[in-house]
Amino acid sequence: MTATPAALPLHAPRPCGWFTRLAAWLLLAVAAAGCSSLPAQVQRTPSRAWSTPQDTPLGQLAQARRAQAGARADSGFFLLDSVDAAFGSRLALIEQARHTVDLQYYAIHADASTALLLERLRAAAGRGVRVRILLDDFNTVGDDAQVLRLAFVPGIELRLFNPVAGSRGSLVGRVLGSLHDVDRLTKRMHNKLFLADSAWGIAGGRNLGDAYFGGDEASAFVDLDVLAAGAVVRQMAASFDRYWNDPLAYPVQSLLSREDLGALAAPADAAGPGPAAPPAPVASGLQPAAAVLPQVSAQRVRDAARPQLDLARVPLAWAPATLLADSPGKVGPGDDEAGAGETTIDGLLQLMRGARQEVVIVSPYFVPGAQMLAVFRELRQRGVAIRVLTNSLASNDAPAAHAGYRRWRPALLDLGVELHEMRADPASVGLAGSNRSGRGGAGVSLGSGVGGSKSGASKASLHSKAVVVDRRLAVIGSMNLDLRSQLKNSEVALAIRSSTLARQAVGIVEQSFARGAWRVQRGEGGGLRWVAPPGAGFADATQEPEAPWKLRALVNLLAPFAPDEML
């Protein structure tokens, strides 16, 4: 997960002058807060998703695939458990769309993989496809603010959801400059959808950026999406429209100008943004990518290129499904319960209550809270097994979230919940040094890839979000099993009643249990033990394994000041 206000990456300050700099930042933030505000009158032209997907080539392909399979269900699904399949499926949807492409994301980062996707989107707009991008506003700072250049490309509309007033120079500055409006700052749109012609779509855990597609040298997120075709995509499109047309969605042009973006890019692009280059056909190469993200070299964009997924041949599991989606009102001002109705997490808990044998949970940030713990207790009293894969401290990119998780760890173990914590070693989770062949091949865990490309990341971090009930029902989406997803963030997920898909998902998780995660158990004297799988190349431990003492000390320091509902 990209850092949220409650889980910002914390770095040790330099010993000299850090207090003076912090005091100066605070004074500047207070001054900025007094004069920064959102525009009161905003022109929003309503628009809707494509209403006749059956008349598009993508819609007709979905119908043909269903007829070929002889399926009664009207929605088909394919797990995107590899970085190449996840990236290639998005390329395929852009290239084959004829009318609309709609994107809804928490974060879009300015890097090579994103530059390639955005360049393809710009080319699609050039051939007459309407492109709408809805982006949460929290991370649109620094280099990542350059993604907003797309708002000034003909045929592309870009809106920011729940925007924050203040500087876009840095994330720290933005947080400090918004301390006067903490309620708005802490409620974020965490939804992740990628839709083409209302006929095919993608839901899951990935944001857009190198770390989610195997191209980041520092870290790699182990993630999971699902490709959907058919009727359920109309539900996904309707959810997108609710957010797009909500008063909390601000057109970029109402918040900043092209010149503002040019000023932010000045250190890397002294010439400013200049006029938008005309969209170039894909066959002409990728050089125009610099016009979208000027700090990303064309060579890096070429390096990020991967084959498209073949939508005509990808195996689809046809099954009944529905969309679990929070309303935009959950992110609105006021009480956390106002306007939210039944939330995605509420619906998920109801589905879990129907379990008879087993619930498998994958959640990188696992802070259950009292209500969720009561559901687990009810399940365990009926003999239902609960198996959880989450991050270890070493693999967690949000130390504050781990501080919240560890509070609940003893109670979870006492209920008989089976806890597994993933390693940070990319090799052990199939991200480095393997052929990452994906499902059915030599990949060993969630996030193993296809096509032979390799991640050079030095750290792996679990980012997948999924729940599987009785190996019959799979729920895959943007939600974590934590109080932030339950109370603060808006979320979206696909609930798919398919034993085929559910078993595939459990199989992927069990590979992680067997090769890339410790099982946490009670040790002697009531302490904890981290037990490595049989035959693993890593050892047991009696304290947070492979986490340096500085990180353990940081979590100890954060624990008293990290409220569960903010994690």
The secondary element (H helix, E strand) that includes residue 420 is: strand 418-422
The whole-number pLDDT of residue 8 equals 36
CA atoms of 156 and 128, how far apart (whole Å)? 10
The secondary element (H helix, E strand) that includes residue 473 is: strand 473-477
**pLDDT tens figures, 127-161:** 999 999 999 999 999 899 999 999 999 999 999 99
The secondary element (H helix, E strand) that includes residue 239 is: helix 232-244
CB neighbours of residue 201 within 10 Å: 28
CB 93 within 8 A of CB 196: yes
Q: Which residues pair with 445 in a beta bridge?
A: none
CB 57 within 8 A of CB 92: no
DSSP 334-360: S-TTTTT-S-HHHHHHHHHHT-SSEEE
CA atoms of 530 and 126, how far apart (whole Å)? 54
CATH number of 321-566: 3.30.870.10
Q: What tokens appear for 423 in the block? A: 């390693």
Identify the residue whose tokens are 């500087």.
167
Sign of CA dihedral 238, 200, 210, 463: positive
User: For the packed helices 549-558 and 399-414, what is the interaxial angle rounded to 10 degrees?
Assistant: 80
In the chain, ranges of CATH 3.30.870.10 domains: 55-269+287-304, 321-566
CB neighbours of residue 350 within 10 Å: 12
Q: How confident is the model at residue 563 (pLDDT cuts 50, 70, 90)?
A: confident
Mean pLDDT of 176-181: 74
Q: How confident is the model at residue 269 (pLDDT cuts 50, 70, 90)?
A: very low
The torsion region of residue 222 among left (phi > 0), alpha (psi -120 to 50) and beta comes to beta
CB neighbours of residue 270 within 10 Å: 9
CB burial class (10 A; 0-12, 13-18, 19+) of residue 154?
exposed
Q: For all residues of the chain together, what is the average pLDDT? A: 85
Residue 261 has pLDDT above 90, yes or no: no
Q: How confident is the model at residue 442 (pLDDT cuts 50, 70, 90)?
A: very low
Higher pLDDT, 6 or 484: 484
**pLDDT tens figures, 82-96:** 999 999 999 999 999
**365 by DSSP, 3-state: which?**
coil
Q: Residue 288, CB half-sphere, CA atoms under 13 Å: how many?
A: 21
CA atoms of 13 and 28, how far apart (whole Å)? 19
**pLDDT tens figures, 91-128:** 999 999 999 999 999 999 999 999 999 999 999 999 99
Residue 451 has pLDDT above 90, yes or no: no
- Among 292-296, 354-358, 487-491, the range scoring the smallest mean pLDDT is 292-296
- Among 287-291, 378-382, 432-436, 515-519, the range scoring the smallest mean pLDDT is 432-436
CB 92 within 8 A of CB 332: no
The whole-number pLDDT of residue 266 equals 55
CB neighbours of residue 380 within 10 Å: 17
**pLDDT tens figures, 209-247:** 999 998 888 888 999 999 999 999 999 999 999 999 999
The whole-number pLDDT of residue 40 equals 85
Which residues are the active-site residues?
190, 192, 197, 463, 465, 470
pTM of the predicted model as reported, rounded to 2 decimal places: 0.88
Q: How confident is the model at residue 561 (pLDDT cuts 50, 70, 90)?
A: confident
- Nearest one of 148, 240, 139 to 185, comparing CA atoms: 139
The whole-number pLDDT of residue 289 equals 53
Residue 23 has pLDDT above 70, yes or no: no
Percent of the chain with pLDDT over 90: 68
CATH number of 55-269+287-304: 3.30.870.10
- Strand arrangement, sheet containing 385-391: 321-325, 492-496, 473-477, 466-469, 358-362, 385-391, 418-422, 517-522, 528-531
**183 by DSSP, 3-state: which?**
helix
CB neighbours of residue 286 within 10 Å: 20
> Under 8 Å CB-to-CB from 149, ≥6 apart: which residues?
258, 261, 273, 291, 292, 293
- Nearest one of 382, 520, 423 to 220, comparing CA atoms: 423
Q: Residue 214, CB half-sphere, CA atoms under 13 Å: how many?
A: 32
